[in-house]
Amino acid sequence: MALLIRDAEIDGRRRDLLVDGRRIAHPDAAGAVTEVLDARGGALVPGLVDHHLHLHALAAARRSVPAGRTRDDLAAALRRAAPDATGWIRVVGSDDEHLDAATLDHLRSDVPVRVQHRSGAMWTLNTAALTCIGTLDHPGVDRTPDGTPSGRLVRADAWLRDRLPAAGPPDLDAVGRELAGYGITAVTDATPDLDDAAARALTAVPQRLTLLGVPLGAAPPPGASAGPYKIVLADPDLPDPDTLAARIGAAHAAGRPVAVHSVTRESLVVLLVALEIAGRLPGDRIEHAALVPQELVASLAGLAVVTQPGFLADRGDLFRRDVPAAEHGDLYRCRSLVAAGIPVALSSDAPYGPVDPWSVLRAASTRHTPDGDPLGPHETLTPRQALDALTAPVPGAPPRALRPGAPADLVLLHVPLADALRAPEAGLVRATVVDGRWVHRRD
């Protein structure tokens, strides 16, 4: 495809841009142009990158029942819900950490029901569902004081999946289109321990694809690249630093940096001690860094952080309620990390956080919670800093430039960039190009 985009705002100036095949070319080099698009002064910017999300879970969430924010919401949702093709009801987004099988039985007992906590780390099953999956022999099976299963399964996704009715990987076509509609041209799937079939299925999305869950020593499927090796630090069952250091060392020996999930002060301390033992490799990064005490900021030197300020907009009122006030300033740090020279990239953690990158940009620059008040306002980024953190190919890389020879991964907006940064909204995305191909148009 030879596409000439006329009158686009690029780096603050109105000019033309040529897409020749898979690359950007100089407009004067235009030969047989097959298509001309009038940008009408709208900004043309590098494609957005979601540096941490879960594609299979996002696709599954799109065909699941939303839990709502209260138990009454959950009750109403379950009354209305019909079982899926497997005969189960799958609910996502619950904020109820005390939900158990007995409570679920009261709300819906005629079919198997499983409810995922909003963190993604816990499922709660009703009695019908527990009966279907058989022997409860996973260490993540929560039990009451008398040894009876409570219905809660903690970090037991793979074990549970093996015991569910066969359904195959969810269809990712719709997810790919949704992401393209936001202007996302590259994604990093953060699901750990991907098997071959799951990894291959992920390549159905049109975005450039990096996988954190490719096993050590394995090759990524065609159409994807292997990123840092994902390690989950699951509170409260944290490994000792020596054990974690051995895992990090194995990844480094295989030529892979690590991407380590850390959402608490305790897990961050364990990680930093383990890195002192194992050493650091360029590209090592912390996923989430949800809580970073000020006294540990300097210790992150040499690491990158991939964080999710969108959680503040999504559930920051709950953080304000549940997290000690003295730690509010430690939540999802951005500005202080950038000021300390620590590379920061933004991401969604979808489906556990809001997938819309424009809402993530807005959250990073305002830190407003659902009640309208800011949480940790000293950690805001400027809208331009947030955009750069959403377009860098890897955390901390210089902003991509739309220059001849660069990959043709582009987003065309309906308005100039200054207007978009003043009021960022997904509806401002007019068109998205990945690798020189249209993947979204809204004329």
Q: Average the pLDDT over 436-440 and give the result.
A: 97
100 has pLDDT over 90: yes
Which tokens sit at 372? 């309208």
pLDDT at 30: 58
Can you tell me the mean pLDDT for 306-316? 97
Checking if the pLDDT of 167 tops 80, the result is no
Range name among 154-158, 175-179, 347-351, 363-367 with the lowest pLDDT average:
154-158
CB count, 10 Å around CB of 64?
21
Residues in the chain: 443
* Residue 392 to residue 244: CA distance in whole angstroms: 29
Task: Tell me which residue has tokens 């869950």.
Answer: 213
- Residue 103: count of CB within 10 angstroms of its CB: 18
Q: 42: closest CA among 295, 415, 402, 330?
A: 415
Judged against a pLDDT cut of 90, whether residue 404 lies above it is answered with: yes
Which of residues 232 and 399 earns the better pLDDT score?
Answer: 232
Q: Which residue has the higher pLDDT, 169 or 304?
A: 304
Q: Quick one: average pLDDT of 115-143? A: 94
Amino acid (1-letter code) at residue 369 = T
Average pLDDT rounded to a whole number, residues 18-32: 84
Which domains occur in the chain, in start order? 1-47+408-443 (2.30.40.10), 49-55+183-407 (3.20.20.140), 64-161 (3.10.310.70)
Sequence-ordered strand ranges (E) for 272-424: 285-288, 304-307, 344-346, 410-413
Helices 265-278 and 241-253 pack at an angle, to 10 degrees, of 50
Does the structure show a pLDDT above 90 at 31? Answer: no
* Cα–Cα distance, 351 to 119 (Å, whole number): 9
Percent of the chain predicted with pLDDT > 70:
99
pLDDT in tens, 275-287: 999 999 999 999 9
Beta carbons of 405 and 40 less than 8 angstroms apart: no
Asked if pLDDT for residue 171 goes beyond 90, the answer is no
Model pLDDT, residue 205: 98
Q: CA 417, 418, 419, 421 torsion: positive or negative?
A: positive
Question: Mean pLDDT of all residues in the chain?
Answer: 95
Residue with tokens 């596409």: 3
Q: Is the pLDDT of residue 29 over 70?
A: no
Q: Which residue type is seen at 372?
A: G
What distance in Å separates the CA atoms of residue 66 and residue 73, rounded to the nearest whole number? 9
Average pLDDT (254-258) is: 98
Closest to 428 measured CA to CA, from 410, 436, 416: 416
**Any residues with CB less than 8 A from the CB of 152 and at least 6 apart, and which?**
99, 100, 122, 123, 124, 141, 142
